């Protein structure tokens, strides 16, 4: 069974770092792009960036370039999304998803809450 | 960055009737070398992750009912839901994957 399992909900303070994860199983992790999508409370989907775990080629939306880092560890079939310094405006659900370039399969989402 | 604009923002349709959602891209997403439109449609129900419905503008994803169809080319695309069912109440998003990726703002479909 194809699955993407994301790490659990996080509550952080502004300025703190964070790294969330997304573990793939049931498919060839190194053969498909895996991406991250933000959904702020009550809002639409925002495409953040994608990584090809086979060679670590990474592409970012201009809106998120420099704000987050996307990485992957193919030895454990896991992709990551990280922040060096969170802001309150980073409060959102973050989905990982994979596919050819469109997203066939999605994780369950990780809720990140940033509040002082 | 390519901007995707959906219309309308919301619509209410009677059960059994047809819902039509439009998506316009700020530049063409048709790749001339393979004649494919890099355009997908997703459905998102409350509290759930999105689900892929259509890719390459008109190819239904596995398991998607045939009442969902996609059409269009270049910059103008349409998602049509024929014979709307209660379970089709959701927000629908288009997404271009021609250059990196961008989603439309979403269209909420409700029952009239």
Following DSSP, what letter does each residue of A16-58 receive, concatenated?
--EEEEEEEESS-GGGSEEEEEEE-TT--EEEEEEEETTTTEE
Q: Report whether pLDDT(A100) > 90.
A: no
Which whole number is the average pLDDT over B73-96? 98
Q: Do A103 and B91 touch (CB under 8 A)?
A: no
Q: Are the C-beta atoms of residues A25 and A32 closer than 8 Å to each other? A: no
- List, for residues B23-38, the tens digit of each pLDDT value: 999 999 999 999 999 9
Q: Which of A44, A103, A107 sits opposite B105 (nearest CB)?
A: A44
Q: What is the CA radius of gyration of chain B?
A: 13
Q: What was the pLDDT predicted at A101? A: 87
E-strand spans in A53-102? 57-60, 69-73, 78-83, 92-99
Q: Which of B1, B40, B91 sits opposite A102 (nearest CB)?
A: B40
Q: Report whether pLDDT(A11) > 90.
A: yes
pLDDT, averaged across chain B:
97
- List, for residues A64-97, the tens digit of each pLDDT value: 999 999 999 999 999 999 999 999 999 999 999 9
Q: What was the pLDDT predicted at A24? A: 97
Q: Which of B61, B93, B103 sits opposite A104 (nearest CB)?
A: B61
Distances (CA, A) of B61 to A97, B47, B52: 15, 21, 6
Q: Are the C-beta atoms of residues A95 and A39 closer than 8 Å to each other? A: yes
Distances (CA, A) of A18 to A32, A53, A68, A82, A115: 25, 21, 10, 5, 13
- List, for residues A45-61, the tens digit of each pLDDT value: 999 999 999 999 999 99
Nearest residue of B to residue A46 by CA position?
B103
What 8-state DSSP symbol labels residue A65? B
For residue A78, what are its two tokens? 């896991």
Does B42 contact A at CB distance below 8 Å? yes
Q: Which of A49, A58, A54, A62 is nearest to A103 (CA)?
A: A49
């Amino acid at each position: 069974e194809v699955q993407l399992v994301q790490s659990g909900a996080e509550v952080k303070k502004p300025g703190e770092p964070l790294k969330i994860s997304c573990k793939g199983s049931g498919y060839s992790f190194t053969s498909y792009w895996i991406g991250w999508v933000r959904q702020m409370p009550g809002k639409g989907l925002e495409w953040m960036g994608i990584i090809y775990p086979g060679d670590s080629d990474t592409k970012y939306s201009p809106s998120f370039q420099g704000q987050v880092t996307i990485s992957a560890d193919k030895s454990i079939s896991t992709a990551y999304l990280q922040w060096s310094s969170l802001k309150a405006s980073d409060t959102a659900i973050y989905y990982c998803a994979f596919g050819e370039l469109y997203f066939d399969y999605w994780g369950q989402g990780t809720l990140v809450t940033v509040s002082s | 960055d390519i901007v995707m604009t959906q219309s309308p923002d919301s619509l209410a349709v009677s059960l059994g009737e047809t819902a039509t959602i439009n998506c316009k891209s700020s530049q063409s997403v048709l790749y001339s070398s393979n004649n494919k439109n890099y355009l997908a449609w997703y459905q998102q129900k409350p509290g759930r992750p999105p689900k892929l419905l259509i890719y390459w503008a008109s190819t239904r994803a596995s398991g998607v009912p045939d009442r969902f169809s996609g059409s269009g080319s270049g910059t103008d695309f349409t998602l049509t839901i024929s014979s709307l069912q209660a379970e089709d109440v959701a927000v629908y998003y288009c997404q271009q994957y021609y250059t990196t990726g961008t989603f439309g703002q979403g269209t909420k479909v409700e029952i009239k």
